[in-house]
Amino acid sequence: MKLESLPEQLFVSAVGMDPALDGFSGVLVEVYRERDPSGGVRYVLLETASATGNHLLKFTSADPSLVAGILLREIGGIPCAGPADRIFRALAEALGKPAPAPTQ
């Protein structure tokens, strides 16, 4: 019997939002690595509405830089202040993309 490997969570962040402006109260953003049926590795970006559990976005690729690029495009308007935001900045620099603006 062959056991399937569980996905490895690489990043998770909860982003609070204003329901009046954004339409929902928050989003859970996750990036993880998992084995596909052929034995290769794929990377997954998953965005879920925190109040309802509805999936808002699921992007999958064997290329981690594509997943990172989509993540940066999605969080482009989020100000950088906390430790997770420093990861975004480092990721953006590594990909040659503009980093999110720091908060004042």
For residue 102, how many C-alpha atoms fall within 13 Å in the half-sphere facing its CB? 7
Looking at every residue in the chain, the average pLDDT score rounds to 75
What is the C-alpha to C-alpha distance for residues 63 and 76, in angstroms, rounded to an integer? 20
Residue 97 predicted with pLDDT over 50? yes
Q: Give per-residue pLDDT as tens, 30-49.
A: 888 898 888 888 889 998 98
Residue 101 predicted with pLDDT over 80? no
Between 15 and 60, name the one with better pLDDT. Answer: 60
C-alpha distance from residue 49 to each of 14, 38, 63, 64, 78 (Å)? 10, 31, 25, 23, 17
Residue 39, classed as helix, strand or coil, is coil
Q: Which amino acid is at 93?
A: E
Q: Is the pTM for the entire model greater than 0.85?
A: no
For the chain, what are the domain ranges? 8-95
The hierarchical CATH code for the domain 8-95 is 3.10.450
